[in-house]
Amino acid sequence: MIAKSSKQNNGYTAKDIYVLEGLEPVRKRPGMYIGSTGVDGLHHLVWEVFDNGRDEAMAGFADEVEVALLPDNRVRVADNGRGIPVEIHKQTKKSALETVMCTLHAGGKFGGESYKIAGGLHGVGVSVVNALSVWMRVEVHRDNGEYAQEYKRGKAISKVKKINSSKLNGTIVTFEPDPEIFSEIKFDWNKILSHLRQQAYLTKGLKIRVIDARDHKGKIDDSKILFLNLLKLPVDSHTFYFEGGLLSLIKFLNKKEKPVHGNIFYIEKEISDAIPSIEIALQYIEDITIKEISFANNIHTPEGGMHLTGFRTALTRALNDYAKKNNLIKADEDNFTGDDVREGLTAVISIKLRNPQFEGQTKAKLGNPEARSAVESIFLESFSSFLEENPNDARAIISKVSLALKARKAAKAAKESVLRKGILEGLTLPGKLADCQTRDPAEAELFIVEGDSAGGSSKQGRDRRTQAILPLRGKILNVERARIDKMLASKEIKSLVIALGAAIADEFDIEKLRYHKIIIATDADVDGAHIRTLLLTLFYRYYMPVIEQGYLYVALPPLFRIQKGKEILYAYDEAEKNKIVGKTEGYNIQRYKGLGEMNPGQLWETTMDPERRILKQVAIEDAEEADKTFDTLMGKEVEPRRLFIQTHAKAVQNLDV
C-alpha cells in the first residue's frame, strides 16, 4: 500500500494548514455534517476519510488507496500520499496532525498550492469523523519517520509521537464509529464496493483496494500489522483500477443493455486554472430510462447543479441543430425538448474545479455558475463535432430522440383523455370501485385488493363510511419501462388513476388526492408479492409525493387461523403459529391462501379493523438506492426478480421500501 517514494513533499508543511474555528458542535448536531445518523451517515464517515487519500491522488501525490473493514466495527483507510504534516503549527502551537484531526475547518485545502483540486474543501471531513468516533488512530509516514496519535470522541488522548523510522510516505486512519451517535453500526459491503468502484472510474490511474476482514477478530494486531493486503488471511478483497476513466464507466453501466449507436462519445479537456478539467461520456441505449450521473471533484452530486444544467442545455441544442441542418426533422415540426433528448441516455459528467461551491456539507448539488457556462460551451462544441464525424451514430440518435418526441405527444393526449374523463364523470368513478361515504381525504382509506373474490369479501366487511375498495384483476402492467401512453391504456391502471382523483406524473396534484391512506392488500404468496411490487413500482415512479407524505401502506393479513374450542387466534407467520399451538393437540389450523378465502367478518377483524389490523407504512429514506432496487426487480433481467420473489415471498410481511 504505502510504498517507498522518491516524491518530495512539495512545500506541503505545517504552514499550509489553515484554522478557522472549533469542533464540539459536531457531536451535538451530527446531521448537519454527515446528513443523518442512519446508515447513510455511517457510510459518509468512510467516504470522508477516503476522500482525503483520493484528493492526494487527484493532486498527483498518491496512486493507491486502501479501505479495510476490520473486526469490532473498525475501518482503516490508508494512502501512499505525502502524509499529513506533523510539525508544530504556528497558529495552534500544536502538531499540525492534531490540528487537522481535532479542529473543525482546519486543513490544507483553504489556501496555498497544496491542493488545486479537492473534494473536501470545507475542511471538516476527517475532524468530523474523529468527533463521531469512539476511538481513532492516525499513523503518518513522512520525513523518514512514522508518527502516531490516538483520539477519543474528537479529543487527543496522546501526543503525536515518532514511533519508528520509515522510508515510506502516506497516511493511515483507523476509526471506530461511536454507538452513542449511531443506533446501528453495520457497514454495507456492497454499498462500499459500489462507491469505491465509482471513484476508481473517476480517477484514472488510481488503484483502490477494498478488504473485508471483519471475521478475523483476534487475528489482526492493529499496533503491529500495517498493511492488510500483506496478511495471509482468507479475506474478501477487490482491487479497482481503470485507465479509461468515464469511457470505462459507461461501458460498465451499459454492459447488459442494447446500444443505439456503436461509438461512445467521450471528451476530456483542460479548461483553465479555475476549472482544470471537464470529462463527459455518453451513450444511448434501446430503453426509456435515463441515467445521468454527475460529479464535481469526484464528489457525486445526486441533485445535479450547474454542471448538469449546462450539459442538458448543450445536449438539447446540439441535437436540434444537427437534425434541422441535415433535414432529419422538418422545419415546421416541434423542436426536441430536454425530456426527448434524455430518453434512453446514459451520461456521466465530471468537472474539476479549483473552488467548488457545494450546497451543504453532504455536497448534493454544485452551485458554481462558471461550471454551467464551461460545460455548456465545451460539450456543445465537442458533441456537435462528434455528430458530424459519426453520421451513422448521429442518425441513430436522432431516430431514437424522434421516437421519444412522438411518444411524448401520445402520452400527453393519453393523460388529457384520462383527466378529461375523470372530470366529466365527476362522482361517476370506476364501476369496480366501492367508494366510501366521507369526502374528507384525511379519514378516507382506499384498499387496493387482489381479485374479485377478495374484493367481494372486503366490500361486505368494510366500514362503508371511511373505507373504499378497489379490486384489481390480475397483475397490472409493469410500468418500469413502459411509456405513460401505454400505461394509461391499461384498464386497471386507468381505474386507479381516476379513483385517486389527483392526475398522474407531472400533472399530479396531491391536494386533490381523495384518500390519505392508500393500502395495498394482496395475498401472502408469490403472485401477491409480484402484484405488490408492481403497485409499489407504479407509486414510486408516478406518485412519489404519496410516499413522501406517508400516505401509502401495505396490509399484513395473517397466514393462519387457529381455533381451539371457541377461542380463535390469528398467526402472521410460521413462527407465531408454532408459538401458539405448541404440539398442536386440539387445535384446528387453517392456512389462508389469499384474502378471498376469508369471510367478511374475518377480513374485517384481521386486515381492515383499525383497532386490530397491522399496516406497514411505505417509506423511502434513500431514493437513489430505492431506485436501484426497483430497477433490479422490475427491469429487463428476469433472474434477479425471480430470485427476489422466491427469497422474500414468505417474509413479505416485513416489506419496507
By DSSP bridging, strand 64-70 and strand 207-212 are parallel
The Cα–Cα gap between 492 and 430 comes to 10
DSSP 185: -
450 flagged as catalytic = yes
Strand positions, DSSP E, 541-636: 552-555, 560-564, 567-571, 588-591, 615-617
Q: Which residues on neighbouring strands pair with residue 596, listed in sequence order?
A: none
The Cα–Cα gap between 516 and 445 comes to 7
Tell the residue number behind the cell numbers 418526441, with chain if given. 405
Identity of the residue numbered 325: K
- State the burial class of residue 654 (Cβ atoms within 10 Å of its Cβ: 0-12, 13-18, 19+): exposed
525 flagged as catalytic = yes
- Which three-class secondary structure state does DSSP give residue 165? strand
DSSP 590: E
DSSP 653: G
Residue of 98, 287, 450, 492 marked catalytic: 450
The Cα–Cα gap between 164 and 147 comes to 7
Assign residue 339 a region: left if phi > 0, alpha if psi is -120 to 50, beta otherwise? alpha
Which residues are CB-contacts of 506 (< 8 A; sequence separation ≥ 6)? none
- State the burial class of residue 639 (Cβ atoms within 10 Å of its Cβ: 0-12, 13-18, 19+): exposed
The Cα–Cα gap between 614 and 445 comes to 14
The Cα–Cα gap between 450 and 471 comes to 6
DSSP 552: E
- CB 441, CB 513: distance < 8 Å: yes
Residue of 48, 376, 492, 523 marked catalytic: 523
Which residues are CB-contacts of 526 (< 8 A; sequence separation ≥ 6)? 645, 646, 649
DSSP 480: G
Residue of 268, 463, 527, 631 marked catalytic: 527
- Which three-class secondary structure state does DSSP give residue 445? strand
- Which cell goes with 185? 453500526
Residue of 56, 343, 393, 525 marked catalytic: 525
Cα torsion for 605, 607, 609, 614, to the nearest 10°? 120
Assign residue 275 a region: left if phi > 0, alpha if psi is -120 to 50, beta otherwise? beta
Radius of gyration of the chain (CA): 29
State the first-to-last Cα distance of the chain, in angstroms, to the nearest integer.
Answer: 39
By DSSP bridging, strand 567-571 and strand 467-472 are unpaired
Active site residues: 450, 523, 525, 527
